[in-house]
Amino acid sequence: MTDRLLNNGVEHIPSALLPPTAICSMEEIIKPSPCRLLPPELLLEVFRKNAERDDSFHNRLNTARHSSQVCRLWRTNLLSSTSIWGRLLQLDDFLWTKEEWKDLVLSRVGNAPVWVHGRVSTSTWPFLVKVLDSKWENVQILDVWENPVSRFCPPGAGSFLGKPAPNLESLVLRLYNRWPLPQPFTLFNNIAPHLRAIEASPIFFHVDSPLPWLYNLRTLSFLTTHSLADILSVLKWVPHLKLLRIWRDSGSKRIVRVPHELLVPIHLPKLQSLHIINGNLSEILPFLELITPSPICSIAIHTTCLPVFRQESFDALPTRFYRALLPWISAYMKGRPPKFISLDVDSEPSLSLRIRDYPPPPPSYKPSSIEEDSLDVAVLLDSYCRSALAELTRASSRIFSSVEQLSVYVEYKRDVDILVPFYEAFTSVTELTLEAYTAIDFMDLHAERKRDASVLFPRMRTLCITVEDGSTVEDITIVSRILDFVEYRASVGLPLSCLDLSAGIRGIELSDRDRERLGTLEGLTVKFPA
Nearest to 208 by CA among 236, 167, 183, 185: 236
Averaged over 519-530, what is the pLDDT?
A: 85
Q: Are strands 10-12 and 5-7 parallel, antiparallel or unpaired?
A: antiparallel
Averaged over 174-198, what is the pLDDT?
A: 81
State residue 526's pLDDT score: 87
Select from 203, 236, 258 the last residue of a domain. Answer: 203
Q: Which residue has the higher pLDDT, 169 or 52?
A: 169
Same domain? For 54 and 3 the reply is: no
Q: What share of the chain is helix, strand, coil (3-state, %, to 5)?
A: 35, 20, 45
Nearest to 109 by CA among 95, 127, 97: 127
- Give residue-wise pLDDT tens across range 358-371: 876 544 434 345 55
State residue 166's pLDDT score: 94
* Domain assignment of residue 225, yes or no: no
* Domain assignment of residue 73, yes or no: yes
Most confident option among 74-88, 135-149, 151-165, 404-418: 135-149
Select from 203, 235, 252 the last residue of a domain. Answer: 203
Same domain? For 144 and 42 the reply is: yes
Same domain? For 25 and 158 the reply is: no
* Domain assignment of residue 241, yes or no: no
For 135-139, 352-356, 371-375, 399-403, which range has the lowest pLDDT when averaged over its residues?
371-375
Same domain? For 155 and 84 the reply is: yes
Maximum Cα–Cα distance across the chain: 104
pTM for the model stands at 0.78
Q: CA dihedral defined by 31, 36, 37, 43, rounded to 10 degrees? A: 160
Query: In which domain, by residue range, is 90 found?
Result: 32-203
pLDDT at 220 over 70: yes
Q: List, in order, residues 6 or more apart from 359 with CB less than 8 Å away.
A: 340, 342, 407
Same domain? For 24 and 126 the reply is: no
- Give residue-wise pLDDT tens across range 453-494: 678 888 999 999 887 765 666 667 788 888 888 888 888 888
* Domain assignment of residue 174, yes or no: yes
- In DSSP notation, 372-422 reads SSSEEEEEE--GGGHHHHHHHHHTHHHHTTT--EEEEEE---S-TTTTHHH
Q: Are strands 431-435 and 462-466 parallel, antiparallel or unpaired?
A: parallel
Most confident option among 69-78, 410-419, 496-505: 496-505
Same domain? For 13 and 144 the reply is: no
Q: List, in order, residues 6 or more apart from 104 with CB less than 8 Å away.
A: none
Kindly provide the b/e burial profile for residues 325-340, where b requires at least 16 CB atoms within 10 angstroms of the residue's own CB: bbebbbbbbeebebeb
Select from 182, 203, 224 the last residue of a domain. Answer: 203
* Domain assignment of residue 143, yes or no: yes
Length of the chain counted residue by residue = 530
Nearest to 328 by CA among 284, 381, 383: 284
Q: Are 338 and 403 in contact (CB under 8 A)?
A: yes
Same domain? For 98 and 199 the reply is: yes
* Domain assignment of residue 324, yes or no: no
Same domain? For 155 and 8 the reply is: no
Domain count, the chain: 2
* Domain assignment of residue 362, yes or no: no
Same domain? For 1 and 93 the reply is: no
Same domain? For 25 and 119 the reply is: no
267 pLDDT band (50/70/90 cuts)?
Answer: very high
Q: CA dihedral defined by 254, 257, 263, 267, rounded to 10 degrees? A: -30
CA-angle at 51, arms to 168 and 37, nearest 5°: 130
* Domain assignment of residue 353, yes or no: no
Averaged over 194-201, what is the pLDDT?
A: 88
Same domain? For 127 and 154 the reply is: yes
Same domain? For 40 and 189 the reply is: yes
Kindly provide the b/e burial profile for residues 512-526, where b requires at least 16 CB atoms within 10 angstroms of the residue's own CB: eeeeebbeebeebeb
State residue 365's pLDDT score: 39
pLDDT at 83 over 70: yes
Q: What integer best gives the mean pLDDT of the chain?
A: 77
